[in-house]
Amino acid sequence: MTDLKYRFSWDLLGDIALGRPNLGPTARLEVYRLMQFTLRDVLEKQFGTEKADELFREAGYLAGKEFYAHMLGGVTEFGDFIKKLQEVLKEMQIGVLRIETADLAAGKIVLTISEDLDCSGLPEINSEICVYDEGFIAALLESFSGQKFEVKEVDCWCTGDRTCRFTATTLRE
């Protein structure tokens, strides 16, 4: 791949304690959503809906890989992994994770995220919107298990549900 000016690394998140001694590490959620949905608008206009979704999913996947490496890890049992993930997602105010079913032998997990950072409270548009989360969750599960997962959002605030529900299925060779 060609050289990138801003290849992602965790360092790009910066030294927030140094840089924001007065304002601190949090910002209003509207600002995060403003960034996300204006970027999505531009990407969709330039590349179409399908490609924009693909780009968001890929960015979510990259985020999930980095997030796992820096925030999770060090756990070997699935139950411990989920517990740690729930704690971190809540502490960072990303969302409230619940596991509905987990059949690890069959490689199928159904999970929900309530009060989701990306979509909770959005207008209903009859279409699931959390493609970034799909990539993010796929990368977390893959990082933990070493297996590739396909993650699909099946219910979303934007489809009239009050939680986002995702199915995760292992991709078998």
Residues of this chain that interact with Zn ion (CB under 5 A) are 119, 130, 156, 164
Number of CB atoms found within 10 A of residue 172's CB: 7
Least distance in angstroms from the C-beta of 30 to Zn ion: 17
Least distance in angstroms from the C-beta of 153 to Zn ion: 6
Least distance in angstroms from the C-beta of 128 to Zn ion: 6
Tokens 């929900």 belong to 112
Distance CA 172, CA 69 (A): 24
Q: Closer to Zn ion at the Cβ: 119 or 141?
A: 119
Least distance in angstroms from the C-beta of 120 to Zn ion: 8
Residue (of 108, 111, 106) closest to 85 by Cα position:
111
Q: Closer to Zn ion at the Cβ: 82 or 156?
A: 156
Least distance in angstroms from the C-beta of 114 to Zn ion: 10
Give the Å distances, CA to CA, from 84 to 68, 71, 104, 126, 138: 11, 9, 18, 32, 17
Q: Which residues 6+ apart lie within 8 Å of 93 measured at CB?
A: 26, 117
Q: Closer to Zn ion at the Cβ: 119 or 138?
A: 119
Tokens 């549900």 belong to 161
Q: Closer to Zn ion at the Cβ: 109 or 130?
A: 130
